[in-house]
Amino acid sequence: MMRLLLVFLLLGAALPAAAADPGRDVIGKVTVEVFFGTNGDPAVLAGKGTEVDEATVALLAADGPLKFDHYRKLGGAREALYRSYENWAEPIAGSDEILCRFEVAGRVSEDVWRLDLELWLQRKKVLKTGAALAEDRPVLVLGPGWRGGRLIVAVALAPAGLPGS
């Protein structure tokens, strides 16, 4: 009887270790930012959005199709990147109009991860691609026309040294 009790105790102690799911390991964070670019008057946003710093303007304007006279940041999110689960980011707080889904597809190098990336607008998937993401090197996606301009989505790995990373 004592041996049977000992076996049950050992099995009970081993269950939590076996139940740990390595797919839920957080291996980093992903930042998703949404910008609005226009050659017209940015006042069409009616006060929505914030000014964009010079470094971000230079990054966005460096790519021909993303070059606009005016940029505004509409929102951003930083979400955990799970090893084996799909991840969702809602860059405009309180709105599911723009969503980004990402899932790890593999590791390219020490600081670069390959992700399956999807962009959802108004609950419809409008883009599905594979992307290699690294810290501070965002993948820029030119979104659809919106209010006389275009939406631009930037997705990157969050730098490991930042708070919340």
Q: What share of the chain is helix, strand, coil (3-state, %, to 5)?
A: 20, 50, 30
Question: What pLDDT, on the 0 to 100 scale, is given for residue 129?
Answer: 84
Cα-based angle 131, 116, 55 (whole degrees, multiple of 5): 40
Task: Give which of 58, 68, 31 is closest to 160, Cα–Cα.
Answer: 31
Alpha-carbon distance of 42 to 124, in angstroms, equals 26
In the chain, which stretches have pLDDT less than 50? 6-7, 17-18, 161-165
**Cβ within 8 Å of residue 120, ≥6 positions away:** 98, 99, 100, 101, 126
CA distances from 29 to 99, 132, 135 (A): 16, 14, 10
What average pLDDT is seen over the chain? 79
Question: What pLDDT, on the 0 to 100 scale, is given for residue 160?
Answer: 62
Radius of gyration of the chain (CA): 21
Question: What pLDDT, on the 0 to 100 scale, is given for residue 11?
Answer: 56
Run of H or E including 92: none
Alpha-carbon distance of 81 to 105, in angstroms, equals 12
Question: What pLDDT, on the 0 to 100 scale, is given for residue 3?
Answer: 58
**Cβ within 8 Å of residue 106, ≥6 positions away:** 113, 114
Q: With H, G, I as helix, E, B as strand and everything else as coil, classify residue 51.
A: strand
| C-beta separation of 147 from 36 below 8 A | yes
Question: What pLDDT, on the 0 to 100 scale, is given for residue 16?
Answer: 52
Question: What pLDDT, on the 0 to 100 scale, is given for residue 162?
Answer: 43
